[in-house]
Amino acid sequence: METKQTPYPPQKQNLPGSEQEMKPRPVADNPSYKATGKLNDKVALITGGDSGIGKAVAILFAKEGAKVAIVYLPEEQEDADNTKNIVAKYGGTLLQIPGDISGEQFCKDAVQKAVDEFGRIDILVNNAAQQIPAENIEEIETKNLVHTFEVNIFSMFWLTKAALKHMAEGSVIINTTSVTAYKGSPELLDYSATKGAITAFTRSLSQNLVKKGIRVNGVAPGPIWTPLIPASFDEKRTSEHGKNAPMKRAGEPVEVAYSYLFLATEESSYFTGQILHPNGGTVVNA
């Protein structure tokens, strides 16, 4: 599988960003991967499944036999269609649910649409997020602060509350946090705060649900090449994305997806309340 080394070509997009406009495009699929049916007959609901990490997870889960529903913003339809086409190429099933998870009612509706289509939810992947850089705290606008918390952490409460009614013993929840929750980020104060909240939410929810036999874990990616990068940062910062990681490059979404697959299968049956760290070698206090 080919990975791209920094520097990337200078590029800039508007939020939420499009994978189709990125140079090079992120690697979301490993065609040489040999599936073994680890998720046969499972149903997965994935937020942010149109591009980036969510897209790679959707493709990998579908390859392993899961029926997949992805949630994404309507303006990301082109990316979502590309994800659906790749899943279809492997003979998989994918349901598209466009909408904005910053609202509680939509989160309830998204869960219901997945259940109406597939009957239940076995795997909930709370993955979608936004970030709006600011050089100092004085520059953080309240409307952006509130929206970042709504998208990144409030939605996880809303989606989980709605999904639990349709999840049985043996189901799993996987939340996407970030390396910034552990080492901070001077330009992403509010984003990093939400990711710290997600880590605490994951650990607390795991203890709350252990009696129901539902495992809850998280993944804390490092610098990954996704549309959020050119849509968030200037051309110079984007071109250097990942250069400070010990491996001296950004990760590809497909490299992160395997962590989610592990946490979704019985191979991680003794894991709950834990965070995996695909971050290119950064050592954190987990």
CA neighbor of 163 nearest in space, from 219, 197, 214, 99: 214
CA atoms of 255 and 56, how far apart (whole Å)? 9
Residue 34 CA to its chain's centroid (Å): 23
Q: What pLDDT is stored for residue 7 in this prediction?
A: 87
Which two tokens mark 231?
A: 């849509």
CA atoms of 184 and 164, how far apart (whole Å)? 31
Distances (CA, A) of 205 to 97, 170, 194, 218, 223: 25, 15, 16, 11, 26
Q: Is the pLDDT of residue 2 over 90?
A: no
What are the residue boundaries of the structural domains of the chain, listed by start?
39-221+256-276
Q: Give the list of residues 6+ apart from residue 18 with CB closer than 8 angstroms, or none.
A: 51, 76, 78, 79, 227
CATH (one of 3.40.50.720, 3.40.50.300, 3.90.1300.10, 3.30.200.20) for 39-221+256-276: 3.40.50.720
Active-site residue 191, yes or no?
yes
pTM for the full predicted model = 0.96
The pLDDT tens digits for 134-170 are 999 999 999 999 999 999 999 999 999 999 999 999 9
The backbone torsions φ and ψ at residue 63, rounded to the nearest 5 degrees and listed phi first, read: -60, -35
Q: Catalytic residue, from 33, 191, 260, 270: name it.
A: 191
The pLDDT tens digits for 12-43 are 999 999 999 999 999 999 999 999 999 999 99
